[in-house]
Amino acid sequence: MSIFMTLRIAIKALNRNKMRTMLTMLGMIIGVGAVITMVALGKGAQSTIEEQVKAAGTNMININAGNYSIGGVRQGQGMSNTLMPEDAEAIRALPGVQYAAAGADSRGQVIAGNQNWSTRVQGTEVDLPLIRSWSIKYGSFFTQQDVNSAAKVAVLGTVVSDTLFGPDADPVGQIMRIRNQPFKVIGVMASKGQSAMGQDQDDTIFVPFTTVQKKLQGQQHINNITVSASSPETAPVAALITETLRARHKLMPGDPDDFMVRTLEEMASVRSETARTMGTLLAAIAGVSLLVGGIGIMNIMLVSVTERTREIGLRMAIGARGKDVLLQFLVEAVVLSLFGGIIGIGFGFGLAAAAEKFLQWPTTIPPNAIGMAFGFAAATGVFFGFYPARKAASLDPIEALRFE
Amino acid sequence: MPPILQVRKLVKTYTVGEVIVRALRGADMDVQAGEFVAITGPSGSGKSTLMHILGCLDRPTSGQYILDGNDVSQMSKDQLAVIRNRKIGFVFQGFNLLSRTTALDNVELPLLYNGALKLKTADRHQRAMEALTSVGLGDRYHHYPNQLSGGQQQRVAIARALVTQPTILLADEPTGNLDTRTSIEVMDIFQTLNKERGITILLITHEMDIAEYGTRVVRFRDGRIQTDSQVLDRRDAKQELAALPPPEDDPPVPAHAGATAGDVDHGGVA
């Protein structure tokens, strides 16, 4: 008997008991629907993280001054004073580096009028807004001339601006005090929200790094360098930077780095890992529902084989071989699971759309998830349909015909 | 001309638990083409076992069974399935029609399992229609079994047995579920097929009067053939049908329901 014929017979048999067919399919529908929904939610979370990484700045590489020890007493990270502005110059000249900005950090109380606030003061260079793809809301960023002259100019993050000057006020041109020194506000950054590491990026003040060095901290070294690579392949650039800095700092082979180079990719990978763990968990739940759906199919097929024993006996009497009967019941199980799978895919799409709409959870359904769900459905059908089908095929025609 | 069916020293023993049942103890029988053989005997005589072996549903423990020149006694299960499909037409007591399946689809069923014929759908329909017409149900092809009377259902089953043009027609108590009039109608079909188309028929029955529609009666007892004789005074179903009063209209009036009720679902008082 041809497979096409078998398919027709299977569909006819399933049609004879629509209610039972629907209920059996329900298990499959929920199983496959769960797979699709879970994948959609997992992928959605992952792409959110990727977007956050992108928002933090494209192709970014961070270089922080390392720890150093004096006579065996280790100081905290960033305490080493070996990172110099000239290092930033050297890095800027490296191939694959688009921008580089030397950074010197400070913290302190800032005052404007009758308001005060404690915040980070980040000394940096003119290219920082480009590196971190950060736009300016009011006024402008400082210029190279400001850097050269260590000018007392400040560009505020929105949190600082809102706290000191009131929400949505334009403070450009106002005077404020940072650690009791007067600074002129020349701009306000647009809001950027939380970083990939969970830090509020808007609670900060940008000033020229030279100003931090000379006016606030009184230090020769810098604390960090922020680099933007010209392509998303940041790893080789990071390696080149490490090599350059080691040479400049005259480190011997075997000496530990006195700086740390980190790419955003690395930072994001921690959170991606979390997302992946969650994805695995969701996949396990989906797998369990598929399993339950499959057992449902096996259950119904076993009932069906018993109920149709006489039919099987008759088919055998008129010439059906064992493998014809096997194939018939196997195809019935696969048709059940595939139809269930198709409806389940639709159901999953619906659920994902609902999650996006009502829970504001971003979802993405990759095309291969549909193929995968379809394949799983078919495999479930074959796997759980085989035992009942083999049971049917191994019936003795005489016994089967006598069956009441 | 060699016999169409040859049985030599057929033995079949079963083990049921610890009891050994010797269902057949050495049966010998030849059937020529065109014969209408009735096999009778009390229950437990071995006639059902013989019928299973003759129908290639079972294999003998020992002995030989040659059907249409093929020794089928030692064939594999799959080979037997093919023999059943090509050479044997079954008619059962319980009709065994597929429910929720039209008469035409039921009749077509054996053709679906014959891969060698390579029939197109239209050819299958045509052959099934021819078989249905030959049992007088050409106009009922789209009916479902539950819309047909018992006699009509058995005729559909006969059409299904005929559709593959088998070497022998094997009928196992075909009138067991039918009332007298319908039984005669079914026997009329068998006689017509036997006389007009020369189809070889093996009929298993425990009713002697049904056996007398055949040309030859083989009586079984205790796993052996007790008597094997030609029927001298053969009954003619057509004549008997003509002599019977016409069947009542459907549905029958309860007061008249009796020996001549035409439908298995309504008769039964007789």
Q: Is the pLDDT of residue A186 over 90?
A: yes
Nearest to A141 by CA among A190, A80, A213: A190
Residue A2: its chain B contacts at CB < 8 A?
115
Per-residue pLDDT of A306-325, as tens digits, reads 999 999 999 999 999 999 99
- Among A2, A318, A324, most B C-beta atoms within 10 A, so best to mutate, is A318
What pLDDT, on a 0 to 100 scale, did the predictor assign at position A57? 60
Model pTM score: 0.69
Least Cα separation, residue A299 to chain B (angstroms): 22
| A318 and chain B in contact, CB less than 8 A | yes
Per-residue pLDDT of B167-204, as tens digits, reads 899 999 999 888 989 999 999 999 999 999 899 999 99
Taken in order A317, A318, A322, A326, the sign of the CA dihedral is negative
How far is residue A346 CA from its own chain's centroid? Answer: 25
Per-residue pLDDT of A131-158, as tens digits, reads 888 889 999 999 999 999 999 999 999 9
Q: How many CB atoms sit inside 10 A of residue A181's CB?
A: 12
Residue A184: strand, helix, or coil: strand
Nearest to B11 by CA among B218, B221, B224: B224
Nearest to B135 by CA among B97, B98, B174, B161: B161
Choose among A1, A16, A401: nearest Cβ to B96: A401
Give the Å distances, CA to CA, from A317 to A13, A322, B91: 19, 11, 10
Q: How many CB atoms sit inside 10 A of residue B142's CB?
A: 10
Q: Are A362 and A48 in contact (CB under 8 A)?
A: yes
Tell me the CA end-to-end span of chain B in Å, nearest whole number: 45
Which single residue is written with the structure tokens 């007790």? B226
Instruction: Give the relative orientation of helices A234-248 and A85-92 as an angle to the nearest 10 degrees.
Output: 140
What pLDDT, on a 0 to 100 scale, did the predictor assign at position A169? 85
More confident residue, B257 or A185: A185
Q: Write the ipTM.
A: 0.87
Q: Could you give the CA distance from residue B84 to residue B81 in angstroms, rounded to a whole number?
A: 5
Give the Å distances, CA to CA, from A358 to A132, A232, A344, A350: 32, 35, 20, 12
- Among B43, B56, B82, B98, most A C-beta atoms within 10 A, so best to mutate, is B98
Q: Is the pLDDT of residue A343 over 60?
A: yes
Average pLDDT over residues B155-171: 94
Per-residue pLDDT of A227-258, as tens digits, reads 988 877 788 888 899 999 888 888 888 888 88
Residue A316: its chain B contacts at CB < 8 A?
57, 81, 84
Starting at the earlier edge strand, list the strands of the sheet with B19-31. B19-31, B5-16, B62-67, B70-71
Is the preceding omega at residue B174 within 30 degrees of 0, hence cis? no
Residue B58: its chain A contacts at CB < 8 A?
398
Q: Are A241 and A91 in contact (CB under 8 A)?
A: yes
Nearest to A395 by CA among A297, A273, A302: A302
Phi then psi for residue A97, to 5 deg, are -100, 125
Kindly report the CA angle at A265 between A263 and A269, in degrees rounded to 5? 130
Q: Please, which residues have CB within 8 angstroms of residue A254's CB and are 6 or more apart in sequence?
A: none
What pLDDT, on a 0 to 100 scale, did the predictor assign at position B257? 38
Q: Are A103 and A213 in contact (CB under 8 A)?
A: no
Q: Is the pLDDT of residue A70 over 60?
A: no
Percent over 70 (pLDDT), chain B: 91
Per-residue pLDDT of B225-248, as tens digits, reads 999 999 888 899 999 988 888 776
DSSP readout, B156-198?
Answer: HHHHHHHTT--SEEEEESTTTTS-HHHHHHHHHHHHHHHHHH-
Choose among B86, B96, B100: nearest Cβ to A16: B100
What pLDDT, on a 0 to 100 scale, did the predictor assign at position B11? 93
Per-residue pLDDT of B95-109, as tens digits, reads 999 888 899 999 999
What pLDDT, on a 0 to 100 scale, did the predictor assign at position B131? 94
Split at pLDDT 50, 70, 90, the class of A369 is confident
More confident residue, B254 or A353: A353
CB pairs under 8 A between A and B: 61
Q: Could you give the CA distance from residue A402 to residue A392 in angstroms, rounded to a whole number?
A: 15
What pLDDT, on a 0 to 100 scale, did the predictor assign at position A71? 56
